[in-house]
Amino acid sequence: MPYNFPAQEIYNFCTHLLAGVGVPREDAAIVATVLVDTSLDGIDTHGISRLPVYLTRLQNGRINVRAQIKSKRTAPAIVTIDGDNGLGQLVSVRAMETAIETARAVGVGVVPVKHSNHFGAATYYCKMAADAGMVGMAFTNSPPGIPPWGGKKPYFGTNPIAFGFPRAGDPVVVDMSSSNVARGNIILAAKEGRSIPEGWAIDADGLPTTDAQKALAGAVLPLGGPKGYALALAVEILSGVVSGAAYGPHVGWIYDDNLEPVNIGHFFIAINIEPLMPQDEYINRMEDMVSEIKAVPKAQGCERILLPGERKQANAARRLKEGIPVTDTLLAELNDIATSLGLETLSGETA
């Protein structure tokens, strides 16, 4: 049965656990912030549910506890980053900060990243850019999950594509996988012993399956068939080939027993709006467009037209009041790790 915990309590606990396995506290706080923000948004597959595997991989040396992130400016608008096999959230926050700083100076910041790890949900990094008054883009590759169109063996990751656009209030954030569903949903279903909907995946023989374990041994289907395959390919080129990171089947998976670095690649872009038009003019044009979108006649059964990201914003508002739900399985995993580190465990009231 799930438990609800205040966001601040979860943040403190995550920070203590990460610091407990040797992550510098400042770095631990950054990663905890991303994880908690993601869980507040309701993206439970990419938030605090990923912490146990991160902690395990930090302890066995597969992820670098004290990564020395290196950056190199190769052109006025381009900075390359070597994540030194650090936590993906930490590397990605530093990368988007670099993209934003570069965009302030020259109008656009392009930051490819190599030698990183799973960065969670792309939404957070796009919100960083939008909060700075800029358009943000975030891409990443991931372990093989999608077959090329017509194939049955996975080659591409589920490779998300994300954009953030500033507004007068909450930004518009488009964050979508190039697969029918993020692989994290299948991992979570397998962990909890649940079946998955038809159309999500195929098994190792290329046949449709609703068995989450068979889906993990098979492949996730691309979004929109060949269109999703094309999008996954584009993200793989940017995040893997252009960045100098691993690509395709050469990307590692932190859920297996291999101890080699996974070498995931990311690609971040920040665009300064001011060189394009005054910020006030942009905001006014955005709000006019949003008003027009909201005013479009609604289809039968539709109560209101939502913008991308609005459901996440509603989730965050509710969970800030009610707390973040944590399953008993996840709570037990985290508390077992806390106990092994000699740290205080987390306990709370059932939701």
Tens digit of pLDDT for each residue in 26-54? 999 999 999 999 999 999 999 999 999 99
Cα–Cα nearest to 330, from 28, 21, 35, 110: 35
- Give residue 99's pLDDT band: very low, low, confident or very high (50, 70, 90): very high
- The answer to whether residues 267 and 112 touch, using CB atoms and an 8 Å cutoff, is yes
- Give residue 192's pLDDT band: very low, low, confident or very high (50, 70, 90): confident
What's the whole-model pTM score?
0.93
- The answer to whether residues 105 and 93 touch, using CB atoms and an 8 Å cutoff, is no
CA neighbours within 13 Å on the CB side: how many for 174? 9
pLDDT at 1: 66
Helix (H, G, I), strand (E, B) or coil at 303: coil
Residue keyed to tokens 């790790």: 337
pLDDT at 81: 98
pLDDT at 351: 40
Could you give the C-alpha distances from 333 to 33, 106, 267, 329, in angstroms and in order? 20, 46, 32, 6
Amino acid identity of residue 24, one-letter, is: P
- The answer to whether residues 16 and 337 touch, using CB atoms and an 8 Å cutoff, is no
Cα–Cα nearest to 139, from 101, 107, 170, 177: 177
Gyration radius from the chain CA atoms: 20
Tens digit of pLDDT for each residue in 278-288? 999 999 999 99
How many whole angstroms separate alpha carbon 153 and alpha carbon 151?
A: 6
- Give residue 17's pLDDT band: very low, low, confident or very high (50, 70, 90): very high
Residue 187 in this model has a pLDDT that exceeds 90: no
Helix (H, G, I), strand (E, B) or coil at 304: coil
- Token reading at 66: 């004290």
In the chain the beta strands, taken as DSSP E runs, fall at 3-5, 70-75, 78-82, 108-116, 134-140, 161-165, 172-176, 201-202, 208-209, 219-220, 264-272, 324-326
Tens digit of pLDDT for each residue in 108-141? 999 999 999 999 999 999 999 999 999 999 999 9
How many whole angstroms separate alpha carbon 114 and alpha carbon 6?
A: 35
Residue 350 in this model has a pLDDT that exceeds 70: no
Residue keyed to tokens 């909201």: 294
Residue keyed to tokens 């510098």: 24
In 25-124 the beta strands, taken as DSSP E runs, fall at 70-75, 78-82, 108-116
